[in-house]
Amino acid sequence: MGSVEQALATQVANIQKKTGKTLEQLGAALRASGLEKHGQLRDFAKAEFGLGHGDANTLVHMVFKSDGASQAAASGASGDAVLDEIYSGAKAALRPIHDAVMAKLAGFGEFEVAPKKGYVSLRRKKQFAMLGPATNTRVELGINHKTLPAHPRLLVQPANSMCPYKVKLVDAAEVDPELFDWLRQAFDGAG
């Protein structure tokens, strides 16, 4: 079992311990809720079981086998095809920003790229960043690290957000050493 699989197994075990319910019982409750959309199910799991955002999100993915990688594989789409879809139409001009971030990250070491609907999740033992177009003119980079120094570019997110910080990027020139210092801290903390 790889480190990502081990981390997921540990997270699921912790969810079961926190809630006092088995994965099957949690899944039955989610299915009985009558909700269909991922975000609604995630919010239901947060409210019903007292889970944080990340645990509720993982629970919904586990129960409905809906992670982005599985969706891409099920549809026969490669990672590049998924990115082509994410950065299509009016968002196509943002792909160079994405590519610049990924090119720099490649020098950090091994990590998983998990395509989701509208963004990619970047993981080691746990997620350290999220990257995707937020609008037709801006890419957002979520950084999952708890203690970055205050900076005008780092937008602090609400408590229990998947990533405590976001950085808005409108040009590949913004992919600079300062940004990669923050990403390096998140990368190191996730492994």
pLDDT in tens, 49-63: 998 877 887 888 888
Place of tokens 């299509």: 88
The rounded percent of the chain whose pLDDT value lies above 70 is 88
Angle value at C-alpha 21, between 117 and 63, nearest 5 degrees: 25
Residue 113 confidence (pLDDT): 84
3-state SS class at 169: strand
* pLDDT, tens only, 67-112: 444 333 333 344 567 788 888 899 999 999 999 999 888 888 888 8
Average of pLDDT values for 21-34? 89
Nearest to 61 by CA among 109, 12, 96: 12
pLDDT band, very low/low/confident/very high, at 6 (cuts 50, 70, 90): low
Q: Establish how many alpha carbons lie within 13 A of residue 83's alpha carbon, considering only the half-sphere containing its beta carbon.
A: 16
C-alpha–C-alpha distance, residues 158 and 155, integer Å: 10
Query: What percentage of the chain has pLDDT greater than the value 90?
Result: 44
- 191 or 163, greater pLDDT: 163
